[in-house]
Amino acid sequence: MSGGGLLVAGTTSDAGKSVVTAGICRWLVRQGVKVAPFKAQNMSLNSFVTREGAEIGRAQAMQAQACRIEPTALMNPVLLKPGSDRTSQVVLMGKPVGEMSARGYHGGRQEALLGTVLDCLAELRGTYDAVICEGAGSPAEINLRRTDIVNMGIARNAGLPVLVVGDIDRGGVFASFFGTVALLSPEDQAFVAGFLVNKFRGDVSLLEPGLEMLHGLTGRRTYGVLPFQHGLGIDEEDGLRISLRGTVRESNTAPPVGEDVLRVAVCAIPLMSNFTDVDALAAEPGVVVRFVDRPEELADADLVVIPGTRGTVKALEWLRERGLADALVRRAAEQRPTLGICGGFQILGEHIEDEVESRQGAVEGLGVLPLRVRFAREKTLTRPVGEALGEPVEGYEIHHGVAQLTGGEAFLDGCRVGQTWGTHWHGSLESDGFRRAFLREVATAAGRRFVPAPDTSFAALREEQLDRLGDLIEQHADTDALWRLIESGAPQGLPFIPPGAPA
């Protein structure tokens, strides 16, 4: 017998689908329910490597953690990794299968993947009591409905009730809820059970008349009103949408332990991937992390991080155009700390040979680290463990570039020269002892009286965040009604709201 299920859709991208899905998962697992997450198709530059060596969206890995289970490729069978505004790498069941234009993908390839997606969902539902699915964008994208495999396409085929999340902080949430339903076909509308309001500030009693009117207009109830809370943006999906202007990475942390803070500047390079690597830095009391895109913003930084990217050569060109490349080379000469991760590591090298990602052939790097990089067609997907700075370290690797080191001091899989460090390992800073040792080195080199907190546990902080998401659902949603949806499906006899989907 198949387990229950629910599809969490949204009125827009960034409405809160990922965190609501994680919150429902954490609430259920605390009730003793065996639950798994699922997202049929994900477009994201933030990805993760499962223990079997499959690449999936980081949001699904985070949701699996909310369920207290290991993530697998079944939970995100299709991952699209943008390489430009029009093309993406298609990752199927955790392995890249090629680059494709948006027109080519929506023109036939997407529909062909529906069977694979439904098989994965069926396997999960056969194993777990409940599967909480996340949609993508909006289910009312009428131009994409014919080929949809992630919103109403999967809801209809798998018989899933749909909960539509709206971000009231943006405004227009009632129109968004009503319009989302009214642009769906009668057959699709029958699966839309109701709504969930996200990021509400203020007195809920002032909102309730509107929710009653919405119920009268659509025949669908609102299953909860979640209050606005800071610091819940864990493992966002899309590095493309992050603001380039002074975005500060938030974390709820204690005051600094030492006399000084450490300022970390993250270069907001194009096609930035796995920028969640710096979350562990932001979790440290006294570490201030911000994203920057101008050379003068590096001047007061104690540490500069060049993060991963899906476009190493494009990012290198961008750094040169903006004057950041020269600033980074000066930092290295002045022995001021810089850390390159994955694509950022490759950028710091001497030479790049790329016939795969950019297809630009031979390109000179910044020449700060002694390495040469050749892009291979096969992608490296591993979960390495090791030791650095006298501390155990775990990480994960996702890259086409193969590094040939010609010198420097060993550092994880990469190298260190002076105060410039480089590695392909994502996630290494989540290893608490290593992170503290690294920050002590940075503070000494920067001349800061910064002291890492002795007891910061990134894993414990992540668990606290997931519990906060579970608390949001438990305290502010009608959990009895949610469970009935998951167990029994959408209510029968939901009214049709005209005009419906255009022909």
- Among 245-249, 374-378, 409-413, the minimum mean pLDDT is found in 245-249
What is the pLDDT, as a whole number, of residue 255?
A: 83
Distances 334 to 255, 417, 418, 445, 474 between C-alpha atoms, Å: 30, 12, 9, 10, 53
What is the pLDDT, as a whole number, of residue 246?
A: 45
Percent above pLDDT 90 for the chain = 83
Among 277, 232, 283, 276, residue whose Cα is nearest residue 467: 232
The greatest distance separating any two alpha carbons of the chain, rounded to the nearest whole angstrom, comes to 71
**Tens digits of residue pLDDT in 475-491:** 999 999 999 999 999 99
Among 336, 342, 341, residue whose Cα is nearest residue 357: 342
pTM of the model: 0.92
Q: Which residues of 94-123 are buried (b: 16+ CB within 10 A; e: fewer)?
A: bebeeebebeebbeebbeebbeebbebbee
Q: Is 399 one of the annotated active-site residues of the chain?
A: no
**Tens digits of residue pLDDT in 190-240:** 999 999 999 999 999 999 999 999 999 999 999 999 999 876 656 555 443
Nearest-angstrom CA–CA distance, 274 and 395: 12
Q: Which residues of 184-223 are buried (b: 16+ CB within 10 A; e: fewer)?
A: bbeebbbbbbbbbbbbbeeeeeebeeebeebeeebbbebb
Half-sphere exposure of 141 (CA within 13 A, CB side): 20
Burial class for 51, CB neighbours closer than 10 Å (0-12, 13-18, 19+): exposed
Strand, helix or coil for residue 191: coil
What is the pLDDT, as a whole number, of residue 276?
A: 86
* Structure-token pair, residue 437: 């040792």
E-strand stretches of 274-348: 287-292, 303-306, 308-309, 338-341
Strand, helix or coil for residue 189: helix
Nearest-angstrom CA–CA distance, 263 and 299: 10
**Tens digits of residue pLDDT in 251-261:** 656 788 888 99
Nearest-angstrom CA–CA distance, 164 and 498: 18
**Residue of 399, 400, 424, 426 marked active site:** 426
Q: Is 426 one of the annotated active-site residues of the chain?
A: yes
**Residue of 342, 415, 424, 476 marked active site:** 342
